[in-house]
């Protein structure tokens, strides 16, 4: 005679979704969405500041709205590779860079400046058909193979670089007076999480005295797919 086995019913416990963050509750994401809903922010490359060294070509950039100077570097790397790096020219603290991503330091090649139109700069490594075409205003970078664009950076004008700032309470009276309109705007936009971020009973204070910053940069590969890069940096 068979003995019937006891049936066991297992039911997943219902999770309270309110204890988890979604994108709309992440401060830097909300700021980026708000920025992208506005007219595109204009960045300009200052081509009169171009310097070419052994490892890279450098030039200054500026956001016409914030007037914060940025530093752009273009590296030529063995294997017909170009690398673009953008950071603040004089940051309040060094930007964090992930170490040991590569097993060894890539071999660089000196870039050659070719003749271009007024308001543009063309860089080549002299070892292949790839060229880096930099447009000054508005800032745009096209990676070209012969006469065809294979990748375009910031062609839609959606570059948005949040610079490091000191908290309002640490600014001098003079700075507060000069930036009264900016400070008032920031104080009235606590939801953007510039200086403090709240979620449920948790409070995330920017303990290092700087705002959490993020960078948005859109790259387009014609005839292929589009890739949006959104990265949060501390």
Q: What is the mean pLDDT of each run of 10 residues along the chain (234 residues)?
A: 56 65 75 71 89 91 88 90 89 77 82 82 84 92 88 86 71 54 48 68 64 71 56 38
Burial class of 162 by CB neighbour count within 10 A (0 to 12, 13 to 18, 19+): buried
The pLDDT value recorded for residue 60 is 95
Bridge partners of 121, per DSSP, are 134
Hey, what are 35's tokens?
A: 């920025």
The pLDDT value recorded for residue 184 is 47
The torsion of the CA quartet 198, 203, 206, 211, rounded to 10 degrees, works out to: 0
User: Could you state, in order of their start, the residue ranges of all structural domains in the chain?
Assistant: 38-92+106-161+215-234, 165-210
pTM of the predicted structure, to 2 decimals:
0.70
The CATH-assigned architecture of domain 38-92+106-161+215-234 is Sandwich (2.60)
Rounded Cα distance, 91 and 101, in Å: 23
């Amino acid at each position: 005679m068979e003995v019937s086995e006891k049936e066991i019913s297992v039911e997943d416990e219902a999770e309270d979704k309110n204890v988890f963050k979604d994108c709309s509750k992440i401060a830097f994401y909300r700021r980026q969405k708000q920025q992208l809903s506005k007219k595109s922010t204009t960045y300009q490359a200052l081509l009169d500041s171009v310097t070419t060294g052994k490892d890279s070509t450098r030039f200054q950039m500026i956001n016409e709205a914030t007037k914060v100077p940025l530093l752009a570097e273009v590296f030529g790397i063995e294997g017909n590779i170009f690398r673009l790096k953008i950071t603040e020219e004089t940051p309040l603290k060094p930007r964090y860079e992930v170490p040991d991503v590569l097993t060894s330091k890539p071999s660089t090649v000196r870039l050659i400046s070719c003749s271009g139109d007024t308001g543009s700069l063309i860089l080549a490594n002299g070892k292949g058909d790839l060229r880096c075409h930099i447009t000054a205003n508005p800032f745009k970078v096209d990676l070209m193979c012969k006469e065809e664009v294979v990748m375009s950076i910031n062609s839609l004008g959606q570059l948005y670089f949040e610079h490091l700032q000191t908290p309002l309470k640490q600014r001098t009276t003079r700075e507060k007076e000069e930036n009264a309109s900016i400070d008032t705007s920031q104080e009235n936009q606590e939801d953007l999480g510039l200086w403090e971020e709240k979620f449920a009973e948790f409070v995330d204070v920017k303990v290092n005295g700087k705002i959490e910053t993020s960078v948005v940069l859109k790259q387009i590969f014609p005839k292929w797919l589009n890739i949006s890069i959104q990265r949060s940096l501390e």
